[in-house]
Amino acid sequence: MLETKKQGLLIVISGPSGAGKGTICAELLKRNKNLWKSVSMTTRKPRKGEVDGVDYFFVSKKEFKENIKENGLLEHATYADEFYGTPRSYVLEHLNKGEDVILEIEIQGALQIKDVYPQGLFIFILPPSMKTLKKRLENRGTETKEKVLKRFKRAYQEINEVTKYNYVVTNDTVENATNKVEAILMAEKCRVDRIEEVYLDTVEEELHESLVDNKELNNEVKDF
């Protein structure tokens, strides 16, 4: 009998802005009730429909810097002139309770986490093409042309970081990409190094009982 580790699995999903990582994470959470999504902290303004404390913790730059000083963030990064970070206490609390935690974060932050928590699972989301990525950024309609262009140029640089991840998934459609991520999670759960303990005593008992039964059967055959 096998028992998996009680520590939860930290799943880090990132990729260039516009790759669709947020949509994939939302679909994963919808399908898997045992996943807990960490809420990141940011200094950017909320987009339409985003809720403070649900999508992000929206804070001022002053408050963000105070969290850095107090070591309250697991990672933090600057992206398109705004700050992003992961509150440390929330993530560790859920992992220690054996719950799987999914982080949707920018690449700078993901690589910081890999340095301090290498046992995590790191998945890179790619767009099907750079043309598609540019269109997705433009269709958001939430940023100026200058900011869209800045994000697009940054994406070219970020794609070079893909080799530092465990897995890469192309987001051609949300359904296909989510299916691939789910397959990765299932495979990770079956890895030998994620097994806490093998109950060899039980295996030995079953083996002994089997040998005894075979011996008794052989004796009966001889007597016959």
Nearest to 124 by CA among 78, 191, 180: 180
Tell me, yes or no, whether 43 lies in a domain: no
Instruction: Look up the CATH number of the domain holding residue 161.
Output: 3.40.50.300
The Cα 33–Cα 43 span in angstroms is: 29
DSSP states of 171-188: -SSHHHHHHHHHHHHHHH
Predicted confidence (pLDDT) at residue 3 exceeds the cutoff of 70:
no
The confidence score (pLDDT) of residue 217 equals 47
Tell me, yes or no, whether 104 lies in a domain: yes
The confidence score (pLDDT) of residue 198 equals 56
Tell me, yes or no, whether 189 lies in a domain: yes
- Reported as type and span, the H/E element at residue 103 is strand 100-104
Number of domains observed in the structure of the chain: 1
Rounded to the nearest angstrom, the gap between the alpha carbon of residue 54 and the centroid of all alpha carbons in its chain is: 17
Tell me, yes or no, whether 91 lies in a domain: no
Q: Which residue in this structure is represented by tokens 């799987």?
A: 100
User: 43 and 80 in contact (C-beta within 8 Å)?
Assistant: no
Q: What are phi and psi of 82, to 5 degrees?
A: -125, 155
Beta strand 121-126 with 73-79 is unpaired
pLDDT digits (tens, 9 = 90+) for 59-118: 999 999 999 999 999 999 887 789 999 999 889 899 998 899 999 988 888 999 999 889
Beta strand 10-14 with 82-87 is unpaired
Q: Which residue in this structure is represented by tokens 């898997």?
A: 32
Tell me, yes or no, whether 48 lies in a domain: no
User: 93 and 100 in contact (C-beta within 8 Å)?
Assistant: no
DSSP state of 52: B
pLDDT digits (tens, 9 = 90+) for 14-72: 988 878 898 999 999 999 988 999 999 999 999 889 999 888 999 999 999 999 999 99
Q: Which domain holds residue 133?
A: 2-37+100-223
DSSP state of 168: E
Tell me, yes or no, whether 193 lies in a domain: yes
Where on the phi/psi map is residue 73: left (φ > 0), alpha (ψ -120 to 50), or beta? beta
pLDDT digits (tens, 9 = 90+) for 164-203: 999 999 999 999 999 999 999 999 988 887 776 555 555 5
Q: Is 56 helix (H, G, I), strand (E, B) or coil?
A: strand
Predicted confidence (pLDDT) at residue 151 exceeds the cutoff of 80:
no
The confidence score (pLDDT) of residue 199 equals 55
The confidence score (pLDDT) of residue 120 equals 93
The Cα 219–Cα 210 span in angstroms is: 14
User: Is residue 133 very low, low, confident or very high in pLDDT (cuts 50, 70, 90)?
Assistant: confident
Q: Is 35 helix (H, G, I), strand (E, B) or coil?
A: strand
The confidence score (pLDDT) of residue 75 equals 92
Predicted confidence (pLDDT) at residue 148 exceeds the cutoff of 60:
yes
The Cα 26–Cα 113 span in angstroms is: 21
The Cα 8–Cα 176 span in angstroms is: 25
The confidence score (pLDDT) of residue 215 equals 56
Tell me, yes or no, whether 90 lies in a domain: no
The Cα 143–Cα 131 span in angstroms is: 18
The confidence score (pLDDT) of residue 73 equals 93
Tell me, yes or no, whether 74 lies in a domain: no
